[in-house]
Structure 1
Amino acid sequence: MDLDAYVAEHRGEWRRLEMLSRRRKPTAAEADELVLLYQRVATHLSVVRSRTPDPALVAELSRLVLTARATITGAAPVDWRRVPRFLAYDLPLSLYRARRWWYGTTICFVLAAVAVGLWVDSDPGVAESFGMSAADIERLVEFEFEAYYSEHTAPSFGLMVWTNNAWIAAQCLASGVLLVPVAWFLWQNALNVGLVGGLMVGHGRADVFFGLIAPHGLLELTGIFVAAGVGLRIGWAWVVPGPVLTRGQSLAAAMRQGMHAALGLVGVFAVAGVLEAFVTPSFLPLLVKDAIGVLVWGAFLAYVLVLGRRAERSDLVLDTALPTRP
């Protein structure tokens, strides 16, 4: 097939389809023409792919077909009636079913961070092996750790924190199917927390360290643990699918619930960002700030465990109520 001749013959139809696809409110005649041209260009795309798969032309025609399809079908309206069900059922159920995984990631993280902290506290040379000089350590302990929470304006700092946490969680969720990268992300964060914590405690600044970490860190770190746990659960669903589902079916089911968890973590990290930007650097007493952090963290755990358990029980009741095949 002569590609240049084929393009010259049908270029007018492609341009017309592109123009109609941009119309927000086409007339009845234009809508009929749009559907007809969409079918024709889809056929043209199929012909080009099978006979002369020119990458640029295939990309152009694919874009035209997708744009036209979106114009024909229209954007699906947002069903706000789903939001209460998502918050009261889908989200807590997905987090609750992955609870054993994020319990495990929490225990491993805490043990690793404590071990690193004790190591740094007992041996002053450990921090230097990580490239920190004595001057660096002194600046961190006396000034930089505390100043970190107030060196930016609260709104921009909160957005920066939210973005960073969301990025870490996204990596855990996306790489969960491979299992090993999640462990690496957790180790890197545990190493940082243990290193800084060991230095602060070793220099008599434990009250400052825990006082500034607790208001936001309890919820923030729990969100990271949840993301890691959900990611690992997705990976394990592929490794051990169980006796009923295939590997693909098991992975797809775990990923669907993982998407619910990902949406919920957006809100969790938003709350943690607000706490870190507005509560942690505030002039409130440390005990008050820590109490706020504990209350918010406890509310999140209660939300997951209470509503999640209820959702799982209702799900089991529904399964047993369904008729079985003969």
Structure 2
Amino acid sequence: MNIQRWIARREQSWKQLDTLLNQVEKRGLKSLSAGEIQTLASLYRSVAADLARARTQQVGDLVVRNLQALATRAYSQIYQGSRQQEWNAVREFYRWGFPAVVQRSRGYIALAIGLFGLAAVVSWWLAWRDPTFLALVVPSELISQVRDRQELWTGSIVGIEPFASSSIMINNIRVSFMAVAGGITAGLLTTYVVLINGVLLGTIGALVGQNNLAFPFWAFVFPHGSLELPAIFLAVAAGFLIARAILFPGQYRRVDALKLYGQQAAQLVFGIVPLLVIAGAIEGFFSPSPLVPNPIKYLVGIGLLVGLIYYFNQRK
């Protein structure tokens, strides 16, 4: 290979890339037009190829060093810009996209809340009137602890907060994903998940109410429940969206309905994961803490719920 001729032929491309990089480094990637961004990416690939060739053909240390520096600068700007765009997209989703998809899904969310509330009220009424029903739902050790020793089980979390918090997060995420995946069973598993959670909460509510422990129990539930329960309702709504695509595709082919409603369900899932993580941290570290007065726990729970409702009702 004639090294001087090769350098003379390729040098113009190197200078063009250097000019574009100088502009990006001074004013950012947004200063380039779409065509210039494509040119930048193309020139980066050609310089990377030139660098590999220069190393194998031993064209000289100076040329190799210059090409290495040019390729490194280009890589940094291209992939840093790509990562920045990705972070911008994530930020935009949580700022506007997630509230928007929640608003579009409000009918399914209302159905989830209605089923949960119905199951909770009916099970509370049955458990209050019938000890046999209570024993069917709640383990006997738990009933004995509440009735005989007048103690809540929440104190067992104190001292093992990190382990408890991570276990709670994993369990909540598992339940939520089960509710979403239940959509492929035409919503049967999704309906079961929301009903069983309502039954458990209603029955436990009756147990603590009968034994004058309702105030500390709900003080424990409020802080994390203000995020955890809405997240579960959103997961159930996502499952119902998938079920709707299967059962009632409407004007769409079933596969197209699954793509359409599945994308909406995926956006809900993407949004609820941070809620479940935060709720798990609160349930592990804050809710069971004996150092925090119960009235403060109620205020925190109410504040989080009001803030969440305000966030969900934002419009761009």
Q: Specify if TM > 0.5.
A: yes
Q: Which stretches in structure 2 are left out of the alignment for 5+ residues?
A: 1-47, 54-78
TM-score of the superposed pair, with normalisation by structure 2: 0.68
* Distance apart, 1:125 and its partner CA: 2.7
Tell me the alpha carbon deviations over residues 218-271 of structure 1, each in whole angstroms, 9 at most, x when there is no partner.
21111101100121012102322233x322112101111222211211101111
CA distance in 1, matches of 2:253, 2:137: 46
Tell me the alpha carbon deviations over residues 153-198 of structure 1, each in whole angstroms, 9 at most, x when there is no partner.
2222221111111111111111213210001111221222122111
1:284 partner SS: coil
| C-alpha contact 2:116 2:198 (8 A) present in aligned 1 | yes
1:230 aligns with 2:238: yes
Q: 1:235 to 1:136 in 2, by over 3 A?
A: closer
Match 2:111 to one of 104, 108, 113: 104
| C-alpha contact 2:238 2:266 (8 A) present in aligned 1 | no
Report the counterpart of residue 170 of structure 1 in structure 2: 177
Report the counterpart of residue 138 of structure 1 in structure 2: 144
Report the counterpart of residue 201 of structure 1 in structure 2: 209
TM-score of the superposed pair, with normalisation by structure 1: 0.66
Q: 1:266 to 1:136 in 2, by over 3 A?
A: closer
Which has the greater radius of gyration? 2
Q: Which stretches in structure 1 are left out of the alignment for 5+ residues?
A: 1-24, 30-73, 311-326
2:292 partner SS: coil
1:1-326 matches, cutoff 5 A: 28=52, 78=83, 79-130=86-137, 132-133=139-140, 136-141=142-147, 142-150=150-158, 152-178=159-185, 179-243=187-251, 245-282=252-289, 283-307=291-315, 310=316
Tell me the alpha carbon deviations over residues 111-158 of structure 1, each in whole angstroms, 9 at most, x when there is no partner.
21121112111122322344744x6412145234232442x5222222
Q: 1:131 to 1:228 in 2, by over 3 A?
A: closer
CA distance in 2, matches of 1:101, 1:209: 29
Q: 1:204 to 1:305 in 2, by over 3 A?
A: same
| C-alpha contact 1:201 1:209 (8 A) present in aligned 2 | no
| C-alpha contact 1:177 1:232 (8 A) present in aligned 2 | no
Equivalent pairs counted in the alignment come to 236
Q: 1:95 to 1:130 in 2, by over 3 A?
A: closer
